Amino acid sequence: MPAEARAVPPAGWSRVDDGPDPGRLITGRDRLARDPFFEVLHRRLLELLAACRGELALDVGCGTGEAVSALAAGGVRAVGIDRSRRMLEEARRRHPVLRLVMGDARHLPIACGRGRSGAGRTGVSSPG
């Protein structure tokens, strides 16, 4: 794992809006996404999720919405959820047409249906 990834304090991602500089976390996230380690990870994840084409998938902790965007481009009916107002603002700025919802992973505002794990398939009911 890149040193930069280890440098981000775990609490920083749990409470982005309470931190001293949410913008710095966004910049750091963008830098990390360009790291070969994460590029490979991200590409592989999207390959696995290609099996969900046409299905509804929820990206919990979607951040700036890059994975939701890639899934949507691949034909997955993707919805992103994040608890950070600042991250969602940035996600909506970057991807105005995506379905992005504010909410906490511990109390999802979307009722989860029955899903299948393994290939990363998760069914969720429509957020409306």
Ligand X SMILES: C[S@@+](CC[C@H](N)C(=O)[O-])C[C@H]1O[C@@H](n2cnc3c(N)ncnc32)[C@H](O)[C@@H]1O
Q: Find the shortest distance in angstroms from Cβ 35 to ligand X.
A: 12
DSSP 19: S
Query: Is the CB of 29 or the CB of 99 nearer to ligand X?
Result: 29
Q: Does 6 bind ligand X (CB under 6 A)?
A: no
Q: Does 90 bind ligand X (CB under 6 A)?
A: no
For ligand X, which residue has the nearest CB? 63
DSSP 15: T
CB 92 within 8 A of CB 82: no
Sign of CA dihedral 33, 39, 43, 44: negative
Q: Which of 9, 34, 96, 106 binds ligand X (CB under 6 A)?
A: 106
